[in-house]
Amino acid sequence: MSKLLLYLRTDTFRKNLIAALIVVAVLFLGIYFGLKVYTKHGVAIEVPQVKGMHISQAIEVLENADLEYFVDSIYQMDVQPGLVIEQDPDPKSSVKTGRTIYLTIITQVPPEVAFPNIIDKTLIEASAILRNQSLKVGDTVYIADIARDVVLDVKFAGQPLKAGRMVPKGSKITLVLGNGKGANEVEMPNLIGLSLDEARFALSGVGLNLGNVTYTSSVLDSLAAKVVSQQPDTTAGIVSIGTAVDLTLSN
């Protein structure tokens, strides 16, 4: 113990101690200032506004500001593809150079969705289902069928479309609907004011037959007579093909 105490009092020990303290101090200062340089402590720049720009312009602005970027994308209908709609951090935030700015843009290629089953749905129901799938109703084509405004078939790009097929979001779908008349039914035409030949031609054109023809007592020239009443009349609405229509003519 006495030798240790004697050594601690020597000049050699004091010199070694001072040298060790100097080394520790230099090492500490080197690490401290090195980290400040490495992390660019106290050096900050303002994040530029790139939201609302096209992605190519936004990248150029960020690169000129010595900032990194990461791009994610989403799809929105009726929005310009490539448009930056979100950025993080927000514009005018203070960040260090080299910071990564996260951008969200509108993708140029729409994602696909499975086409829903809308057969036998009403037009209103089918429209709601398509809207929920980010699809649109394009043309509506009516064919003879007793199911009025009910979807009988669907087409995409002119081709039949089955449920489950993948189609791009935003696609316009053609709906084939029933007109409520049926394949063997027609709407009763209005024959009032027509001559007998004109009425006969109108009836044959829609698949109806000419029934009994009567003239009022005032008729002097049957060729010049016009239809003044018909039975069934237009209030009958939809009638079966082949129905006979009785006419009364008068001058």
CB 225 within 8 A of CB 215: yes
Q: Residues 184-206: pLDDT tens digits?
A: 788 899 999 999 999 999 998 88
Say if residue 17's pLDDT is above 60. yes
Bridge partner list, 70: 102
Closest CA to 59 of 95, 68, 87, 46: 68
Beta-carbon contacts of residue 126 (< 8 Å; ≥ 6 apart):
118, 137, 151, 175
Exposure string of 66-82, with b = 16+ CB inside 10 Å and e = fewer, is ebebeeebebeeeeeeb
Q: From start to end of 182-225, where are the E strands?
A: 185-187, 209-215
Residue 176, pLDDT score = 94
Q: Residues 107-134: pLDDT tens digits?
A: 877 888 999 999 999 999 999 999 999 8
Tell which CATH classification among 3.30.365.10, 3.30.70.1350, 3.30.10.20, 3.40.390.10 matches the domain 185-250: 3.30.10.20
Say if residue 2's pLDDT is above 80. no
Residue 3, pLDDT score = 65
Q: CA–CA separation, 140 vs 128, rounded Å?
A: 15
Residue, of 17 and 92, whose pLDDT is higher:
92
How many residues belong to the chain? 251
Residue 54, pLDDT score = 92
Q: Residues 36-92: pLDDT tens digits?
A: 655 555 567 889 999 999 999 999 999 999 999 999 888 777 778 889 999 999 998
The number of angstroms, rounded, from the C-alpha of 192 to the middle of its chain's C-alpha atoms is 50
Other CB atoms within 10 Å distance of the CB of residue 129? 15
Residue 105, pLDDT score = 92
Min mean pLDDT across 1-5, 7-11, 50-54, 123-127 is at: 1-5
- Per the structure block, which two tokens stand in for 132? 């929920």
User: What is the residue extent of each domain of the chain?
Assistant: 2-39, 45-106, 112-178, 185-250
CB 170 within 8 A of CB 133: no
Q: Residues 160-183: pLDDT tens digits?
A: 999 999 998 888 999 999 887 766
Q: Residues 132-151: pLDDT tens digits?
A: 998 999 999 988 787 889 99
Fold classification of 112-178 (topology level):
Trypsin Inhibitor V; Chain A (3.30.10)
Q: Which CATH architecture describes the domain 45-106?
A: 2-Layer Sandwich (3.30)
